[in-house]
Amino acid sequence: MKELDITANREKLSDVLSFVDAELEQLGCSMRIQTAIDVAVEEIFVNISSYAYDSEGGVATIRMEVTDNPISIIISFIDGGTPYDPLAKPDPDRKIPVRERKKGGLGIYMVKKSMDNISYEYKDGKNILTIKKLIH
């Protein structure tokens, strides 16, 4: 298991992606899967950076774990910000034209559709959002 503690700030996104991509490259992950994971990581980290903390900010922990049989990567995003379950919100109605939809929710919907599993829990004062993607 590898872990990165980082300031929850959009300016740190490239550091988060570098941390994740180093592991994916070591696993021989295809570019298609790596891109899907990068999009999910960006969406989740930017949401934490934008909404989890007040103006004083805070820290996010990115925890990665690789499992065998089948080979998959599990990435957990942990923050001590305001409790929020992004999975509790209903998926956007894609039949409604984009201009008429309520703002928000599309990014996490894309994460749900592109990952093999996504879960949320609030434990010990921490938001924990976990994504899983099969690598091979």
**Residue 27: both structure tokens together:** 């696993």
Q: What is the pLDDT of residue 98?
A: 58
Higher pLDDT, 8 or 56: 8
Quick one: residue 125, left, alpha or beta (phi over 0 = left, psi -120 to 50 = alpha)? left
Report the distance separating Cα 93 and Cα 101, nearest Å: 8
Question: CA angle 45-51-56, nearest 5°?
Answer: 100
Whether the per-residue pLDDT at 93 is higher than 70: the answer is no
Q: What is the pLDDT of residue 67?
A: 94
Strand-pairing partners, residue 6, are 60
The whole domain housing 27 covers 2-134
Please name the residue ranges forming H helices in the chain. 13-26, 31-47, 106-114
Q: Model confidence at 65, in pLDDT bands (50, 70, 90)?
A: very high
Number of structural domains, the chain?
1
Domain CATH for 10? 3.30.565.10
Q: Model confidence at 130, in pLDDT bands (50, 70, 90)?
A: very high
